[in-house]
Amino acid sequence: MKILVVGSGGREHTLTWKLSQSPLVEKIYCAPGNGGTAKIAENLHISVDDIEALADFAEGESIGLTVVGPEAPLVAGIVDLFEKRRLRIFGPRGKAAQMEGSKSFAKNIMQKYGIPTGYAEIFTDFKEAVNYVNNHEVPLVVKADGLAAGKGVIIAENREEAKEALEDCFVSKRFRSAGKKVIIEEYLEGEEVSLLAFTDGETVLPMVPAQDYKRIYDGDLGPNTGGMGSYSPVPVVTKDIYDMIVNEVLKPVIKGLANEGIEYRGVLYGGIILTKDGLKVLEFNCRFGDPETQAILPRLESDLAEIMLAVADGCLGQHEGLKWSPKSCVAVVLASDGYPGKYEKGFEIKGTEDVGLSEDIVVFHAGTVLDGKKIATAGGRVLSVSALGNDFKDARERAYEAIRKISFEGMYYRKDIALRAVKSQSGVGSGELGVSSLGSF
């Protein structure tokens, strides 16, 4: 079978890498792909937003399954279009993708179906929103309703910051139509966990949990990024907490959506925070996480293509279930100097071939391009190095050792990825929930 993977980041390279291991897969195309996918698939000059061109390609090449990485084409209705043209595709339809595409939609679903989440109110009027801010305690979280390329969530430490965020949405229209509606939410504190699940709208198969690092600097300092690293499993997620997330969040959401006449097929990503008052949902995404995917899929022992076909065909209930390696996985992102602000591109990347030779270590490309025989930087997040180990200490050592073989001008990475997992695993600093048992999650 031929597969088309839509997207160009580290997540898409990881999906392509995992799919390429399936005996069901004979060839993979990536649109547009990156320097890493170019080596295991054929990259296409089609943008992720050009959903008509993607459908034309899938039809013309008799693609057996299209896998969509990023949220924008899902929210724009790529799945609806493919289905109309009788093309098999993995991902939720536009209406279901509103779980990420509209924060007010997701919040209303959560409120209606009793999914634990932070208290929030929804506003379409600037003055009413300002009035709310004036009458509530800070910090508050101001969220633009629609997709805002990861920049639409502002944690306001004081009322001035909250009002500035509201001005950005309603007055200067920084987020265009995505900021026409705004959610103001209570600020929640705790450890964050990402739990993703495959679902065909009826059966829910949860993956292993992961945790990502959003800030640019060690110690969780500095501005937010797309993610600077991740690890799986998450020591704080015990079997009880895992079951709670599955049974009180993921399954009821899928059921609630079905009750609304919305069948959710694809991956549902639950962004969960473990507060002292219990777990709460911070957000849902309608796709795999990046860089969580780079720490989750190396642990997947089942055939990803088989699972995705079962999801797309609505027969996940007949699947035997997911098999996972009990090993720990650590993924460290290598970024361009200056990211998430301005950075330069076009620097040659050296050493990735040497790393690829070690067992249990994979270099996933994100912002890279194949330039003749050389690989060059082409984005803010450039690579991620994923390493499996018998425990987090082992996985971390392998990841950082591999990184020492890689170089490009201005290469920057965090040095503390999964350090807290090492501490939890050795029983130190396991946090308020005080758990260090890992099981096979």
Which chain residues interact with ligand GLY by CB under 6 A? Answer: 212, 227, 285, 289-290, 292
Q: Which two tokens stand for residue 254?
A: 């899928």
| Other beta carbons less than 10 A from residue 150's beta carbon | 13
Q: Which residue's CB is nearer to ligand GLY, number 37 or number 285?
A: 285
Least Å distance between CB 251 and ligand GLY? 21
Beta bridge partners of 411: 336
For residues 170 and 303, give the distance between their C-alpha atoms in angstroms, rounded to a whole number.
Answer: 46
C-alpha 313/C-alpha 265 separation (Å) is 9
Instruction: Quote the least distance from Cβ 18 to ligand GLY, whole Å.
Output: 17
- Please state the closest distance from residue 212 (CB atom) to ligand GLY, in A: 4
Residue 9: count of CB within 10 angstroms of its CB? 28
Q: b/e per residue, 47-67, with b = 16+ CB within 10 A?
A: ebebbeebbebbeeeebbbbb
The distance of closest approach from Cβ of residue 38 to ligand GLY in the complex, given in angstroms and rounded to an integer, is: 23
Give the nearer residue to ligand GLY in terms of CB position, either 227 or 233.
227
As measured in angstroms, the least distance from the Cβ of 214 to ligand GLY is: 7
Q: Which is nearer to ligand GLY, 201 or 270 (CB)?
A: 270
Minimum CB distance to ligand GLY smaller for 36 or for 270: 270
Cα 237 to Cα 195, 229, 273, 431, distances in angstroms: 10, 18, 11, 11
Lookup: tokens for 7: 């997207």
Residue number with CB closer to ligand GLY (12 or 303): 12
- Which position's Cβ is nearest ligand GLY? 289
Task: Identify any residues that bridge with 273 across adjacent strands, giving them in sequence order.
Answer: 192, 280
Nearer CB in complex with ligand GLY: 199/203: 199
Residue 44 or 97 having the CB closest to ligand GLY: 97
User: Which residues 6+ apart lie within 8 Å of 406 measured at CB?
Assistant: 334, 349, 350, 351, 352, 355, 363, 383, 385
Closest approach of ligand GLY to the CB of residue 268, in Å: 13
**Rounded (10°) angle between helices 304-312 and 10-19:** 100
Smaller CB distance to ligand GLY: residue 286 or 369?
A: 286
To the nearest whole angstrom, how small is the minimum distance from the Cβ of residue 289 to ligand GLY?
3
Instruction: Report d(CA 337, CA 370) in Å as an integer.
Output: 20
Query: Are the C-beta atoms of 208 and 296 separated by less than 8 Å?
Result: yes
Q: CB of residue 233 vs ligand GLY: minimum separation in angstroms?
A: 16
Show Cβ contacts of residue 213 under 8 Å, excluding neighbours closer than 6 positions.
Answer: 220, 227, 228, 229, 230, 414, 417
Choose between 185 and 212: whose C-beta lies nearer to ligand GLY: 212
Which tokens in the block code for residue 103?
A: 């924060």
**Radius of gyration of the CA atoms of the chain, in A:** 21
Distance CA 253, CA 110 (A): 7
Q: Which is nearer to ligand GLY, 105 or 269 (CB)?
A: 269
* Nearest partner of 328 among 225, 196, 420, 241, judged by Cα: 420
Q: What's the closest the beta carbon of residue 283 comes to ligand GLY, in angstroms?
A: 8
Q: Minimum Å distance from CB 12 to ligand GLY?
A: 12
